[in-house]
Amino acid sequence: MDITTLNTTKKASIEITTFAGGCFWCTEAVFLALEGVIYVESGYLGGKTIHPTYNEICTGETGHAEAVQITFDANKISFSDLLNIFFATHDPTTLNRQGNDLGTQYRSEVFYHNENQKLVTEDYINLLNTSKTYSKPIVTKISLATHFYVAENYHQNYYNLNKSLGYCSYVITPKIEKLQQQFSSKLKK
């Protein structure tokens, strides 16, 4: 999707952010359901390998995280709202792990695209830690977004196309149910 084309329609309200919260199938499913989210792509970010493949990522040796790049209309959903939902729908206190998914590719990380995203993320993590929202400290990294490599086509919109598969039923559906319960006002109609 061409961000320039989008911005001409909605004067400078279109933004991009990138989150890594474990398996990108889970994270993608959550953000696709939100009003104001225009586009979500699963991919890889934060490593050293150029044009990595899923098989390379799974080794944990490329340094990349499974991540989702989210294009959103800031007039309909704020970066702060997205950040709140991101932290509520994964465990930001486990290093390089989400559930049974283990390895650096499953780390929790916010890749900021501008200084405001960085500052808001730092403040939010500080708030979560000082309020002891979680019983353990947050380990989510905050990094400047670099080159985002779009994952293979079969990873895109994975949950919506494969809801009946075991992983989707047992791991992703509970996250979607939590999203529906806690953030019903933010969901697409």
Active site residues: 23
C-beta of residue 72 within 8 angstroms of C-beta of residue 83? no
Q: How far apart are CA 41 and CA 66, in angstroms?
A: 11
Q: How far apart are CA 67 and CA 65, in angstroms?
A: 6
Encoded amino acid at 29, one letter? A
> At 111, is the secondary structure helix, strand, or coil?
strand
Q: Is 133 helix (H, G, I), strand (E, B) or coil?
A: coil
Local structure of residue 172 (DSSP, 8 states): I
Burial class (CB within 10 angstroms; exposed 0-12, middle 13-18, buried 19+) of 152: exposed
CA 28 to chain centre: 6
